[in-house]
C-alpha cells in the first residue's frame, strides 16, 4: 500500500477507506491518451484532472498534485517549456513525461532538465500505474532524505553553538579568575597596596628597649589598609569553606514559613532599611496553599541571604524608595516551590551598556552575570557596613547558600504598577522547593 507523508492525503485515505489517495494531473493534447491514462489511474487516484492545453494547466494549483504527467509535443507549448513553468510553481511535485518510443533521446534530455521519469506510449496499465507510484514514492523518499539532511544541518549548527558556548564558558571562567585578581589587586592598591607595610616599617622610632613610636596617621593608614586586605582574604577563605558548611535544616508548612520570614523582615530587614530612611512593603498575608506541602530551610542562612538582598536593594535603588517583599507559591517544570520575592525600584547606574546608555536595573544579559563571583555592576560600588559579603561576592555567596539548601536565586527586571506612575523594578527571587509530607 502506498502511503504518502501528507497528513491530508492520509486523512482522505481513511475517509475513503481504500487506497484511492492520489491527486494526478494529466496533460496531453490527445483526448484518447487522457481517457485511457485516466482510466488506468482510476484504481489509485482520488482525483485525475486532465487538460489538453498545458497553458490551461498552469492556472491550476500545481503544488496540490501528487504527480503531473505530460506529453512532450503539444501545440502552443512544448513539454520542456511546460516543465520549466511547473518547476517554478511546484518544485517538489514529481513530473513524468509520456513519450512515444522513438522519443527516448528526448525523454533522457528531459530528465536532465528536471523531469523525474518518462513513460512510453501506448501505455501498459500495469506498468503505467507501477511507474507512477514508483516515481511518487521515490520523490517522497527524496523529500524525507532532504528533510533528514536539513535536520542534520540544524543539529550540526546546534552542536557548533554548544561548542561555542563551551568556549564562552571556559573564557568566562578565565574572566572570572581575572576579575578576582583584578578586584583583589585594585582593593589592595586602593588602600595603598602594601605600601603601608613599608611606611610603617620606615616610621618606626625606637623609644626604648621595648617600644617603638609610630606617627598616628601612619598607624591609622596601615590599620585601615590591613583591614581591607583582611576582609578580602577572609571573603576568599569563607567561600572556600562553604562546601563544608553545616546546615540546620528545619521543615515547616507555608504558613509557618511565612511567619518565620515575617520575623526576619521585622527583626533584621526593617532596622537596616530604617537606618537609610527606607521602608518595607511586606505582604503580611501568607499565600494560599492548596496542599499540605512543607519547605525545608536553615533559617539563619536564609536570614543572611535576605539581609544581603535587602542591602543590595538599598544600594541599587533611588533614595527613599521602599523595598517590596512577598511570598508566593509557584510551579515550574512540575516542581512546586515557594519564593520569597525581594524587589526594589531600579536606579540609574553609572555603568553603561554596550550602546553607551546608562544601565537601569538588571539588563537581560546580566541576569546570570550578577551572580558571578566578584562581579559588580558598578566599577567602584558603594560599601555599606551592613554588608556581610562585599566586593561583588554577595550574590554569589547568597546563591551558593540557597543551593546548599536545595534552592536557588533568580534576578529579573520588571515593572511596579502599584504607584500612579509605573516604575522599573529589580526583583530577586529566593526559591525553595516544596515537598509533600511523607
Partner 1 sequence: MNPDSAPLLDPDLLLRRLGGAREIAQEVYGDLAASLPARIQECRHALAAGDSDGLRQALHTIKGSAATAAAEQVALRASNLGVLARDLAGNEEAVRSALDDLEVCVNRTLAAAGVSHE
Q: Quick one: 103 or 117, whose CB is closer to partner 1?
A: 103
Select 32 or 420, whichever has its Cβ closest to partner 1. 32
In the complex, what is the shortest distance from the CB of residue 148 to partner 1, in angstroms, rounded to a whole number?
38
Stretch that binds partner 1, among 32-40, 256-264, 275-283, 393-401 (CB under 8 A): 32-40
Q: What distances in angstroms separate CA 377 from CA 320, 359, 369, 397, one per listed residue?
A: 21, 9, 9, 16
Any contact of residue 123 with partner 1 (CB under 8 A)? yes
Name the segment binding partner 1 (CB under 8 A); options: 1-9, 115-123, 197-205, 361-369.
115-123
- Name the one range near partner 1 by CB under 8 A: 119-127, 180-188, 198-206, 329-337: 119-127
Instruction: Output 28 or 298, the one with its CB closest to partner 1.
Output: 28
Segment near partner 1 (CB under 8 A), from 29-37, 296-304, 305-313, 336-344? Answer: 29-37
Q: Smallest distance, Å, CB 79 to partner 1?
A: 13
Q: Does 229 bind partner 1 (CB under 8 A)?
A: no
Residue 31 interacting with partner 1 (CB under 8 A): yes
What residues numbered 202-221 form the site for partner 1, per CB under 8 A?
none
Tell me which of 32, 207, 319, 420 binds partner 1, using CB under 8 A.
Answer: 32
CB of 121 to partner 1, least distance (A): 5
Q: Which is nearer to partner 1, 37 or 341 (CB)?
A: 37
Q: Please, which residue, 100 or 410, has the CB nearer to partner 1?
A: 100
Binding residues for partner 1 restricted to 375-434, rule: CB under 8 A: none
Nearer of residues 127 and 263 to partner 1, judged by Cβ = 127
Distance in angstroms (rounded) separating the CA atoms of residues 359 and 438:
47
Q: How many amino acids of this chain bind partner 1 (CB under 8 A)?
A: 19
Contact between 33 and partner 1 per CB under 8 A: yes
Whole-number Å distance between alpha carbons of 32 and 24: 17
131 is an interface residue for partner 1 by CB under 8 A: no
Site for partner 1 in 37-66 (CB under 8 A): 39-40, 42-43
Q: How far is the CB of 21 from partner 1 (least distance, A)?
A: 18
| Cα distance between residue 37 and residue 48, in whole Å | 9
* Binding pattern for the stretch 329-368 against partner 1, x by CB under 8 A and - elsewhere: ----------------------------------------
Cα distances from 136 to residues 71, 133, 140, 144, 335, in angstroms, run 18, 5, 6, 12, 48
Query: Which position among 16, 18, 61, 73 is part of the footprint of partner 1 (CB under 8 A)?
Result: 73
Radius of gyration of the chain (CA): 38
Query: Of 338, 241, 263, 243, nearest to 297 (Cα)?
Result: 338
Stretch that binds partner 1, among 116-124, 226-234, 282-290, 292-300 (CB under 8 A): 116-124
Among residues 125 and 424, whose Cβ is nearest to partner 1?
A: 125
Paired residues of 335 in beta bridges? 332
Contact yes or no for 64/29 (Cβ under 8 A): no
> Is 36 or 195 the residue whose CB approaches partner 1 more closely?
36
Answer whether 86's CB lies under 8 Å from 94's CB. Answer: no
The interface region with partner 1, picked from 117-125, 233-241, 390-398, 400-408 by CB under 8 A, is 117-125
Measured from the CB of residue 15, what is the shortest distance to partner 1 in angstroms?
Answer: 24
Q: Which residues bind to partner 1, rule: CB under 8 A?
A: 29-36, 39-40, 42-43, 73, 100, 121-125
Amino acid at each position: 500500500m502506498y502511503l504518502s507523508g501528507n497528513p491530508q492525503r492520509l486523512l482522505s485515505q481513511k475517509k475513503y477507506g481504500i487506497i484511492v489517495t492520489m491527486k494526478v494531473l494529466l496533460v496531453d493534447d490527445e483526448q484518447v491518451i487522457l481517457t485511457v491514462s485516466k482510466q488506468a489511474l482510476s484504481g489509485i487516484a482520488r482525483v485525475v484532472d486532465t487538460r489538453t492545453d498545458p497553458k490551461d494547466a498552469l492556472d491550476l494549483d500545481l503544488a496540490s498534485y501528487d504527480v503531473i504527467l505530460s506529453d512532450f509535443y503539444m501545440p502552443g507549448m512544448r513539454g520542456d517549456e511546460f516543465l520549466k513553468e511547473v518547476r517554478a510553481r511546484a518544485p517538489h511535485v514529481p513530473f513524468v513525461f509520456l513519450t512515444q518510443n522513438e522519443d527516448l533521446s528526448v525523454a533522457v534530455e528531459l530528465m536532465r532538465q528536471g523531469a523525474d521519469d518518462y513513460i512510453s506510449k501506448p501505455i501498459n496499465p500495469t506498468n503505467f500505474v507501477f511507474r507512477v507510484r514508483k516515481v511518487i514514492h521515490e520523490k517522497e523518499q527524496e523529500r524525507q532524505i532532504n528533510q533528514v539532511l536539513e535536520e542534520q544541518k540544524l543539529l550540526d549548527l546546534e552542536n557548533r553553538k554548544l561548542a561555542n558556548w563551551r568556549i564562552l564558558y571556559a573564557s568566562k571562567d578565565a574572566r572570572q579568575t581575572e576579575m578576582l585578581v583584578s578586584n583583589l589587586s585594585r582593593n589592595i592598591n586602593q588602600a595603598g597596596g602594601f605600601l603601608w607595610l613599608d611606611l610603617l616599617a620606615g616610621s618606626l622610632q625606637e623609644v626604648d628597649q621595648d617600644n617603638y613610636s609610630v606617627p598616628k596617621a601612619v598607624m591609622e593608614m596601615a590599620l585601615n589598609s590591613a583591614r581591607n586586605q583582611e576582609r578580602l582574604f577572609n571573603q576568599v577563605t569563607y567561600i572556600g569553606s562553604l562546601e563544608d558548611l553545616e546546615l540546620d535544616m528545619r521543615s515547616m508548612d507555608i504558613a509557618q514559613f511565612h511567619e518565620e520570614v515575617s520575623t526576619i523582615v521585622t527583626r533584621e530587614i526593617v532596622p537596616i532599611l530604617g537606618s537609610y530612611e527606607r521602608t518595607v512593603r511586606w505582604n503580611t498575608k501568607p499565600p494560599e496553599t492548596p496542599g499540605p506541602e512543607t519547605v525545608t530551610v536553615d533559617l539563619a542562612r536564609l536570614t543572611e541571604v535576605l539581609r544581603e538582598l535587602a542591602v543590595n536593594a538599598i544600594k541599587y535603588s533611588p533614595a527613599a524608595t521602599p523595598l517590596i517583599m512577598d511570598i508566593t507559591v509557584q510551579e515550574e517544570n512540575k516542581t512546586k516551590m515557594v519564593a520569597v520575592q525581594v524587589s526594589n525600584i531600579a536606579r540609574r547606574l553609572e555603568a553603561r551598556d554596550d550602546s553607551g546608555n546608562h544601565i537601569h536595573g538588571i539588563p537581560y544579559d546580566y541576569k546570570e552575570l550578577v551572580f558571578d563571583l566578584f562581579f559588580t555592576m558598578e566599577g567602584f560600588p558603594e560599601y555599606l557596613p551592613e554588608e556581610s559579603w562585599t566586593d561583588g561576592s554577595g550574590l554569589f555567596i547568597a546563591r551558593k547558600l540557597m543551593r546548599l539548601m536545595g534552592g536557588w536565586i533568580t534576578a529579573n527586571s520588571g515593572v511596579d504598577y502599584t504607584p500612579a506612575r509605573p516604575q522599573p523594578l529589580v526583583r530577586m527571587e529566593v526559591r525553595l522547593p516544596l515537598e509533600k509530607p511523607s
